[in-house]
Amino acid sequence: MSADTTPTGAAPAGATPAGATPAGAAETAMADALGRIATAGHLLVALDFDGTLAPEVDAPRAARALPEAQDAILRLVALPDTSVALVSGRALDSLIEVAEAPNTVLLVGSHGVEYRVDGEAEVSLSPEEQKLRGALETILTETAAPYDDVHVEEKPAGFALHTRLADESVTDLVLAEARRRVAAEAPAATERVGKNVLEFAVRSASKGDAIARLREITGASAVFFAGDDVTDEDGFRALAAGDFGLKSGHGDTAAAYRVAGPPEVAHVLDDLAELRAHLGRS
């Protein structure tokens, strides 16, 4: 178990703020919880991708899971009564490209709008949703056009403005203009805020909805969910007693446990695979 753990809502991993559980006690509590969930009758391991399995990069198509994370996922997939899902804000086709995951791994794209189950992808929009999506495309494309460091990502149920490469002043201008126009021209759209990204979608599906649906699809008796972004908080809040939430990196969180970043997430997944293989299932 990695020593870089902190309790919910605490400071960055490796630090113990005043009044918080000492780092050693937090590590012990996390190890105990991991041991308990490793014995679940049917375990669903649901994982965000960017910032959780893969380090963040400026070029989204260049992102890849750390090899040790990929190895741990493959070990978990091979275990009996264990389901693994990647739950991402990426469009499903983008997630398929960067994740390089076998069909035995469930995939959820666009924050719960798209699903790949048993290797088959599914998403459909009503005529009203298609019209709203067209309006969003016009708004966000025109908003981003004057700026070289802002780009628009197309998704089946919406579009996202990426500002990672833009400076703060440009970011503020672009986001304000996008919000102004969407409020005026496409008020039915759902807004989601992530790290250096503002997304507008024609559906209000969230990672919390995805966790609930995946629990139903797999028949899981317990869920392990790891994520790093603001949008992952919906997933953490969807967890129930006996589940395990793991926050990757900084920021306030509803997750019970935290590690510093993708290398530490990979370490926890490796521990989980090892425990589940040797402790058996209840």
Q: What is the pLDDT of residue 15?
A: 32
Which CATH number do you get for residue 147?
3.30.70
**Tokens 């102004």 sit on residue:** 180
Q: Where are the beta strands (DSSP E) in the chain?
A: 5-7, 43-47, 82-87, 106-109, 114-117, 120-122, 151-155, 158-162, 190-194, 197-201, 222-227, 244-248, 257-259
Same domain, 111 and 183: no
Q: What is the pLDDT of residue 8?
A: 55
Identify the domain boundary among 185, 201, 217.
201
Identify the domain boundary among 175, 201, 227.
201
Q: How many CB atoms lie within 10 A of CB 240?
A: 10
Burial zone of 129 (CB within 10 Å; 0-12 exposed, 13-18 middle, 19+ buried): middle
- pLDDT per residue rounded down to tens, the chain (282 residues): 543 555 554 333 333 333 345 668 888 999 999 999 999 999 999 999 999 999 999 888 899 999 999 999 999 999 999 999 999 999 899 999 999 999 999 999 988 888 999 877 777 678 898 999 999 999 999 999 999 999 999 888 899 999 989 999 999 999 999 999 999 999 999 998 988 899 999 988 899 999 999 999 999 999 999 999 999 999 999 999 999 999 999 999 999 999 999 999 999 999 999 999 998 666
Q: What is the pLDDT of residue 244?
A: 98
Same domain, 210 and 106: yes
Identify the domain boundary among 201, 226, 259.
201
> Which residue, among 156, 238, 259, 155, has the nearest Cα to 197 in the 3D structure?
155
**SS3 of residue 168 by DSSP:** helix
**Per-residue CA distances from 16 to 7, 12, 139 (Å):** 9, 8, 45
Number of domains in the chain: 2
